Amino acid sequence: MTASPDNAVIYKTADLIASDIDAYLDVHQHKSLLRFITCGSVDDGKSTLIGRLLYDSKMIFEDQLATLESDSKRMGTQGQDIDFALLVDGLAAEREQGITIDVAYRFFATEKRKFIVADCPGHEQYTRNMVTGASTADLAVILIDARKGVLVQTRRHSYLAKLLGIRNIVLAVNKMDLIDYDQAKYDAIVADYTEFAASIGISDFTPMPISGFKGDNITDTSANTPWYTGLPLMAHLETVALDNDADQSKPLRMAVQWVNRPNLDFRGFSGQIATGTVHPGDAIRVLPSGKTTTIKKIVTLDGELQEAVAGQSVTLCFDDEIDCSRGDVIAAADNPPEVADQFESTIVWMADDALVPGRSYWLKLGTQMVSATVQAPKYTVNVNSMEHMAAKTLELNAIGVAEISTDKPIVFAPYADNHALGGFILIDKISNATVAAGMLHFSLRRAQNVHWQATDIGRNAHAMLKNQKPKILWFTGLSGSGKSTIANEVEKALHLMNRHTFLLDGDNVRHGLNKDLGFTETDRIENIRRVGEVAKLMADAGLIVLTAFISPFRAERDMVRAMLPEGEFVEIFVDTPLEIAEARDVKGLYKKARAGQLKNFTGIDSPYEPPEHPDIRVNTVEMSPAEAAEYIVRQLMPLK
């Protein structure tokens, strides 16, 4: 191996450490930070390149080197040479397979900067990992094997880097040693890439011929490529412009994380400034309320600041006691961000379970957490060919453009303008897994033009007149479990008690309001959403609403629960085992389903997710419908 740490920068550092540690510490203290990703597939030499950067910046210790040498001999792919890739591939299972499957973070530093490298796997099945690494990167190093040129994965990596808004792209044409440092071949690759890059909107990138294995153009300009006039990789990384600096010239945006209230005399709003700068006396606006005030002081443990800039975590105090809490955004008074509840977005699906259009997910954007539903995608993007393809859902690693709506307005900015107010994650409400990441592009006009009209007679007034507390009694259970029969009995009992009620029955609603819907998962969700909205309007009108729907999915029942004030949604599980419901088969539907004449029938070829903690549970094997109804009414008392 021809190690070439004949690098002036590194020797200078080492000398300084030895001779004048205080001077070194002073230098180190003023370093800036660059985060970047390396993208490439197994054979492109990505791990080797990172290993080389660590090695050349003296980040590998003797004990690690000793382990590395023994590992290289045992399982390396470079013969007797040191296999830098082994240094980088972390988890045990991955080392055995010889591939990097998760995002790993590496650290090294030079005179000028500290670097955090997100090492991302390259295969298509790891698109989500690359997107994760790219989300925090200022720069992407896209590796190409000089022998192979621009490949499908090069396109994929470039598209993803562009999608996540990485402005600085380095095209590292690697393994130049294996094509004898041939300038013509290099130029052809660069020309090829330039054409492709333009087609996906990348107008500017930095190409360089390198060899991670031999060390060409890594820390020093290589004598093997005299025709190359650009900077070596390390020097480029040390001087490229930082996103954090650019963010400071944008208008002020700070999402409030936490209200700091140690005593009655102090109220501060803590957060990390996303863009812009802030000073005492600045006029600010709190979104979504739109209220304005001025900054009184910027508080830190190190004393009050006269200025704070994008990237800093601070606590701001206002001149007035205006309302402000977690999820709100503090913004420049004369240049506030938009507030909306419907958007067009690009979504990267990251979970094994596909997107269910219409289902309610948690959406986290900045410090805002709201319920959101995603429409069926307009199209998905083939990450290899960039073609748009029709799709009904998003599977693992799929990237699609879809409309998204939130249950209340959120403060946002287009992702292209502001990553902190445009990037979001979706969280499954049952498993709590992070299932997707997305980028908001713009709000949809109808969200901007449809406003909530305040009315003077509110839901309390309606309920008081009826002398009752509104409720939704949500009966759920298999077809044939007895939901409608029991709900009918309960309504009769409540009616006798002079309660104002209304029964929404599954079959009846499908004759009118929902007659356009079928029985696919998406249609079932929309069915329940509409019923939920109607039931909520009736509850707003002061009624006790009874609904009898199979409502097989937990997520949708929880969605309706979330629409209502605490305690108004009463989930009643009509618990009947499938065998019994099927044996009853009042409407003959199970027979049809078993015969294959009825598709997506709950319990047969479509799942039923029983409530985990129903408010009321009735067992129809042990109770008659009348007994079940009486039991339910007893549980509901008192009704005022």
Whether cis (ω within 30° of 0) applies to the bond prior to 638 is yes
Q: Given the complex with another protein, which of 67 and 460 has the nearer CB atom?
A: 67
- HSE of 575 in the Cβ direction (CA atoms, 13 Å)? 15
Which residue, 361 or 601, is less far from another protein as judged by CB? 361
Q: Which stretch binds another protein (CB under 8 A): 192-200, 296-304, 370-378, 577-585?
A: 296-304
Whether 405 is a known active-site residue: answer: no
371 binding another protein? (CB under 8 A): no
User: What's the per-residue H, E or C state across 227-263?
Assistant: CCCCCCHHHHHHHCCCHHHHHCCCCCEEECCEEECCC
Applying CB under 8 A, the span of 91-99, 170-178, 181-189, 206-214 interacting with another protein comes to 91-99
Among 258, 446, 591, 619, binds another protein (CB under 8 A): 258
The nearest distance, CB 164 to another protein, in angstroms, is 9
Decide: is 64 part of the binding site for another protein (CB under 8 A).
yes
Q: Contact at 8 Å (CB) between 33 and 114?
A: yes
Using the contact rule CB under 8 A, the part of the chain among 126-134, 183-191, 549-557, 614-622 near another protein is 126-134
Active-site entry in 32, 551, 606, 624: 551
Find the binder of another protein among 3, 433, 497, 562 (CB under 8 A).
433
Near another protein in 390-429, by CB under 8 A: 419-420, 423-425, 427
Closer to another protein by Cβ: residue 300 or 498: 300
205 binds another protein (CB under 8 A): no
Residue 323 touching another protein (CB under 8 A): no
Of 99, 116, 401, 580, the residue at the interface with another protein (CB under 8 A) is: 116
17 in contact with another protein (CB under 8 A)? yes
Q: DSSP assignment, residue 112?
A: S
Question: What residue has token string 């880097």?
Answer: 161
**Residue 32 or 448 with smaller CB distance to another protein:** 32
Backbone angles phi, psi at 275, to 5 degrees: -145, 160
Task: Report if residue 621 touches another protein, rule: CB under 8 A.
Answer: no
Of 55 and 424, nearer to another protein (C-beta) is: 424
DSSP letter for each residue of 544-613? EEEEE-----HHHHHHHHHHS-TT-EEEEEEE--HHHHHHH-TTSHHHHHHTTSS-S-BTTTB-----SS
Quick one: which segment of 182-190, 306-314, 549-557, 616-624 binds another protein (CB under 8 A)?
306-314
Task: State yes or no: residue 592 binds another protein (CB under 8 A).
Answer: no
Name the one residue in this structure whose structure tokens are 């097989």.
Answer: 552
Q: Are strands 544-548 and 501-505 parallel, antiparallel or unpaired?
A: parallel
Q: Nearest distance from residue 424's CB to another protein, in Å?
A: 7
- Supply the minimum distance, in Å, between the C-beta of residue 241 and another protein: 10
**Strand bridging mode 277-278 / 308-309:** antiparallel
DSSP string, 340-401: EEEEEEEEEE-SSSPP-TT-EEEEEETTEEEEEEEPPPSEEE-TTT--EE--SS--TT-EEE
Q: Which amino acid is at 555?
A: A
Quote the tokens at residue 469: 């507390």
Span of 85-93, 406-414, 523-531, 580-588 interacting with another protein by CB under 8 A: 85-93
Task: Tell me the one-letter amino acid at 45.
Answer: G
Min. distance of Cβ 67 from another protein in angstroms? 7
**Window 498 to 517, contacts with another protein (CB under 8 A):** none
Question: Order of strands, edge to edge, in the sheet holding 544-548?
Answer: 501-505, 544-548, 471-476, 569-575, 616-619
Q: Applying CB under 8 A, does 92 fall inside the site for another protein? A: yes
Residues of span 344-363 touching another protein by CB under 8 A: 350, 362
602 sits near another protein (criterion: CB under 8 A): no
> What letters, b where the CB count within 10 A reaches 16 and e where it falls short, cover 345-374?
bbbbbbbeebbbbbbbbbbbbbbbebbbbb
**Is the CB of 244 or the CB of 606 nearer to another protein?**
244
Distance CA 422, CA 419 (A): 5
CB neighbours (10 Å) of residue 139? 24
Distance CA 274, CA 310 (A): 5
**Number of Cβ atoms within 10 Å of the Cβ of 169:** 21
Q: Which of 235, 252, 299, 593 binds another protein (CB under 8 A)?
A: 299
At 409 the three-state DSSP class reads strand
Instruction: Give yes or no for a contact between 333 and 284, defined as CB atoms under 8 angstroms apart.
Output: yes
Determine if 113 is a binding residue for another protein (CB under 8 A).
yes
| 22 touches another protein (CB under 8 A) | yes
Q: Are 424 and 382 in contact (CB under 8 A)?
A: no
What are the DSSP E strand ranges found in 92-213? 104-109, 113-119, 139-145, 168-174, 206-209
Q: Give me the 133-152 binding string for another protein, x by CB under 8 A, dash otherwise.
A: --xx----------------
Cα four-point dihedral sign 139, 140, 141, 146: negative
Nearest distance, CB of residue 318 and another protein, angstroms: 16
Residue 109 engages another protein in binding (rule: CB under 8 A): yes
162 part of the interface to another protein, by CB under 8 A: no
Q: Which stretch binds another protein (CB under 8 A): 151-159, 191-199, 265-273, 543-551?
A: 265-273
Structure tokens at 287: 């979104």
Shortest separation between residue 37's beta carbon and another protein, angstroms: 13
Which residue among 367, 443, 476, 481 contacts another protein (CB under 8 A)? 367
Closest contact distance (angstroms) between CB of 281 and another protein is 18
Interaction mask 224-253, another protein, x per CB under 8 A: ------------------x-xx--xx----
Asked if 166 interacts with another protein (CB under 8 A), we say no
Please choose, out of 179-187, 258-266, 482-490, 497-505, the segment that lies near another protein by the rule CB under 8 A. Answer: 258-266
User: What is the SS3 assignment for 116?
Assistant: strand
Q: Which residues are the active-site residues?
A: 551
